Structure formats: structure tokens, C-alpha cells
Amino acid sequence: MSYFDAASAAPLHPVARQALLAALDDGWADPSRLYREGRKARMLLDAAREAAADAVGCRPDELTFTPSGTRAVHAGVAGALAGRRRIGRHLIVSAVEHSSVLHSAEVFEAEGGEVTRVSVARTGAVEAESYASALRPGTALACLQSANHEVGTVQPVAAVAEVCRAAGVPLLVDAAQSLGWGRVEDGWSLLTASAHKWGGPSGVGLLVVRKGVRFAAQGASDERESGRAPGFENQPAIVAAAASLRAVRAEAEQEAVRLRELTARIRARVAELVPDVEVVGDAERRLPGIVTFSCLYVDGETLLHELDREGFSVSSGSSCTSSTLTPSHVLKAMGVLSEGNVRVSLPTGAAEADVERFLEVLPGVVAGVREKLGVTMPTAAVQEDALVVDALGKRCPIPVIELAKVIGTVPVGGRVRVLSDDEAARLDIPAWCEMRGQEYVGEEKTEKGTAYLVRRIS
């Protein structure tokens, strides 16, 4: 089995396993106690904090261990907003942040705060000028990921941090995907990360709050972890997380070169081997191991199941499946195709032979899924000056398939009106038009759904 989903959870690093087993023997006691076992546990915890702080580029007393990366984000956002509540009640996030950041923003909004969601380019990157435009006197906090979880695009953290610093606004950076590859660009005020993203054990997150940043921890607290993560620390996991972070950093430079070559190969070959595919994300400013592409006329869930049967563990940035019926918020914000989406995220040590086998298998799998999804000619009728395709009740990617089948039956300059009640069609029909050289005219609300209007150009 070829595991290609390291962006969700990287395999446990051998150093993490060794450190975890050793810490289970020596680091189980309460580190706040003064007897021998407690002192030994405290030494291990302090050493782990120093190692993690060195990797991040901060002081040890600025770093808190949390029960997860998500908890680190929630605590960081809430604490920074509370600490600066006298400044104002305005929060800035990008439209492609991890769900933990967006959920924190939703909670803040529900409590009466204001949230500005900064748009991104088609590559998934923000512009520093967009953050500058969003800043105002009442802005309490800005948030920006160091790199995107779904498409791997690296964000301009230093440039955004500079405009935030000039306005006196702290910047929280979600560094979960990038920290294993290197330090985040300077200028940030708060940082979060998660150990299972770099090969550490799950259940360990990092929250870093720079000295001088106003911060008020929310909820019940105790004396542990500066009051920012109450409860007994999972010391063996923390020790393993710090040890593995140091280990992957030592390998990062050399491994990044190798993985960049493999992902560049996937980006190029997928576009050559699979018809009607869109490779998404920035081609240059991206993480070493992530490549994402979307296939027209393919159901993403079915595609993942078929790849799993062929021995490949991959994920999808698209939620356009029978379970949720909504497209990925990242792909939606980027304005790219969401149907048939596949994210390949190679772990450290991924074999070139496995990548080659994936490229051999993929075209046949996609073709097979498309064949299974073949539908009869859609029901169409001429209404006013447009051919109407009734795709109501049919889910992604059927509305696009039916549009593709009839577009050639209308004259050049003629229009097709696609009726759909699937939210994903709002993203995928315009994306299809761009890929196929047709004109997307717009949408209109109807009694049972939405009508998407397309004009045939060629």
C-alpha cells in the first residue's frame, strides 16, 4: 500500500517512536513535584520545550504544549482577541484558512465580533495589499496560514506580517503544514502547529505567543503550561513530538529537493496522461510534497475508493460527495474545479517507484470512473433563446456531464441553461467553461434551484 496522505497525518517518525517509548519509562510522573521521579519528568519536559522552541525560533517560555493543533488555534485566536478587546472587535482571516481558524472566526462572529475574509488568487495565495486594505483601527487580530493544507500553496507571511506590524496588529500564523520543513518567515506574533503533521504522535499541538503580545487565556485554567493549556501534560508524546521535529528538520533540506522533483513530475504527467484535468495551486511557491488536481466528469468519492483498491491512500480537497454535497471551501475560494479532486501528499521517504506506479494506474482509474458515471442524454428543452438542461436532483459531477453532452448541439453563440440544486455546480460549471473555452454568463435563482447560463463560443 502506498500512503500518499501525509498532509493529513504523517507516518510516525522512527525517532518519535524511540523517544516515546523511552519517555513512557522515564517521563510518566508529575513534573510539578519535587521528588526524584517528578524532577526527571520536569527535565524531559523542559528539554522538549527548548528543542521545540529552537525549531520554531522563539523563547522556551513563549511556547505552550496543547492537546492538539486545533486546540492551539482555538486557544490562540480566543486569547489574542480577548487580550485586545479594548482595541476593537475586528478579526481578519483568509478565505482558505484551515477549518479550525474559520470555526474560531465563526464563534467570534456569533458573539458580536466582525470578521473580514480576505480573498485569494486562483493559485490559492493572498496578496499583502488585501490584508492592508482590510486593516482598520478596531482590528484586534489577523490570521494567515504559512501554507495551504489542501493545495500546498505557500503564503507571503513576511509581507503580510509587515503590513500588520505597521498597523500595530498581531498576526497569528497556522504553521501546521510547513513547520516540519523549516521556520516560518519572521514578523508573526502568534504561531500554532500540530505534531502529527511532521511525524510526531497525535495529541500534541504548539501555541507560541511572543512576549509583548496582549493575551488573555479563555476558560478555566490551572498552573500548567502558563495557564494556556490546563490539565496534566502528555509528557511522553510531547517528548516524542519535539524529538521528531528536530529529526525531520535535519532531513528537510535534502528530502525537500527529492519530493519537489516527484511532485513536479506528478503535476506535469497528470496533465499529459488524463484528459480534462486541472492541476491546482501555485506551481512554484508550494510545499515540497503536495500536489492537487481535479478531474472533470468524475465523482471524487468514487475516485478515491478506486485508487484505494489499487493500493493508493490519497485524499480529496473536495467535499463534493454524497456525504456533504458541498465543495471544499479552499477550492471554492480559489475558483477552481472541485469535482474529481485528488490531493497527493508524499511522506518523507516516499519511493519513486510508487509515484511511477500511481501515474501508470491513474489514467485507467479515471477512465473507469467516468465510464461508470456515464448517463443517458439529458432531458433538454428549448426555452426562449436557450437550451434548458434539467439537472435538478442530480449531484456532482452529473450537472457538468450533462452540460458537456449538449453544448455541441447548440449553434455557436447559442446558450445552454443548466438547472441544478447542487451547491457544487456554482463552482464547477464556471470552472468547466474556463477549461473548455466556453463563456459563463451567470446564474439566476429559480423556484427549485439555480439556473446557470453558458454561451457556446467554439
The pLDDT tens digits of the residues spanning 131-166 come to: 999 999 999 999 999 999 999 999 999 999 999 999
Mean pLDDT of 282-287: 95
C-beta separation of 9 from 68 below 8 A: no
- Mind listing the pLDDT tens digit for each residue in 346-358? 999 999 999 999 9
Dist. CA 194–CA 265, nearest whole Å: 29
Residues ≥6 apart with Cβ < 8 Å to 181: 252, 256, 287, 288
Which has the closest alpha carbon to 175: 245, 114, 115?
245
Distance CA 68, CA 184 (A): 19
Angle in degrees, 0-180, between the axes of helices 36-56 and 235-273, rounded to the nearest 10: 30
The band of 386, judged by pLDDT with boundaries at 50, 70 and 90, is confident
> Phi first, then psi: what are they for 158, rounded to 5°?
-60, -40
What number is the average pLDDT over the span 222-230? Answer: 78
The pLDDT, as a whole number, for residue 394 is 87
The one catalytic residue among 143, 164, 320, 396 = 320
Q: DSSP string of 34-102?
A: -SHHHHHHHHHHHHHHHHHHHHHTS-GGGEEEES-HHHHHHHHHHHHHHHTTTT-SEEEEETT--HHHH
Q: Alpha carbon of 343 to those of 218, 261, 291, 331, 431: distances in Å?
A: 36, 17, 6, 12, 18
The answer on pLDDT for 382 being more than 60 is: no
pLDDT value for 295: 93
Residues 455 and 415: their CA atoms lie apart, in Å, by 4
pLDDT (mean) for 98-103: 96
Euclidean distance between CA atoms 204 and 70, whole angstroms: 10
Identity of the amino acid at 120? V
Alpha carbons 96 and 113: distance in angstroms, whole number: 20
CA 42/CA 36 separation, integer angstroms: 10
| Residues 13/62/97/100 CA torsion (nearest 10 deg) | 80
Confidence of residue 325 (pLDDT cuts 50, 70, 90): very low
Instruction: Name the amino acid, one letter, at 325.
Output: L
Cell numbers 486562483 correspond to what residue? 122
pLDDT the model gives residue 219: 82
- For range 247-264, the mean pLDDT: 97
Work out whether strand 139-145 and strand 90-94 pair parallel, antiparallel, or are unpaired. parallel
Contacts of 419 (CB under 8 A, 6+ apart): 388, 389, 390, 391, 392, 446, 448, 449, 450, 451
Residue at 341: amino acid letter: N
Question: Residue 225 carries which DSSP code?
Answer: G
| DSSP-assigned states of every residue in 227-290 | GTS-S---HHHHHHHHHHHHHHHHHHHHHHHHHHHHHHHHHHHHHHHSSSEEEES-SSSB-TTE
Quick one: pLDDT band at residue 294, thresholds 50, 70, 90? Answer: very high
Q: Which residues contact 286 (CB under 8 A, 6 or more apart)?
A: 147, 151, 152, 153, 154, 263
pLDDT, position 319 = 45
* Residue 109, SS3 per DSSP: helix
Residue 322: pLDDT band (50, 70, 90) is: very low
Q: Mean pLDDT, the chain, as a whole number?
A: 92
What percent of the chain has pLDDT above 90?
79
Q: Is 199 helix (H, G, I), strand (E, B) or coil?
A: coil
Instruction: Determine the Cα–Cα distance for residues 72 and 78; give it in Å rounded to an integer.
Output: 10
**What's the rounded mean pLDDT across residues 259-287?**
95
Averaged over 75-96, what is the pLDDT? 97
Averaged over 57-74, what is the pLDDT? 97
pLDDT at 320: 43
Residue 396 bears catalytic tag: no
Burial of 161 (0-12, 13-18, 19+ CB in 10 A): buried
pLDDT at 375: 47
Is residue 24 within 8 A of residue 41, CB to CB? The reply is: no
For position 321, what pLDDT does the model report?
42
Cβ-based neighbours of 289, under 8 Å, separated by 6 or more: 6, 7, 152, 259, 262, 263, 345, 346, 347, 350
Q: Using CA atoms, how far apart are residues 450 and 67, in angstroms rounded to an integer?
A: 43
Per-residue pLDDT, 300: 87
Global confidence as pTM:
0.88
Contacts of 311 (CB under 8 A, 6+ apart): 1, 2
Name the pairing type of β-strands 415-420 and 386-390: parallel
Confidence band for 458, pLDDT divided at 50, 70 and 90:
confident
pLDDT tens-digit map of 189-218: 999 999 999 999 999 999 999 999 999 999
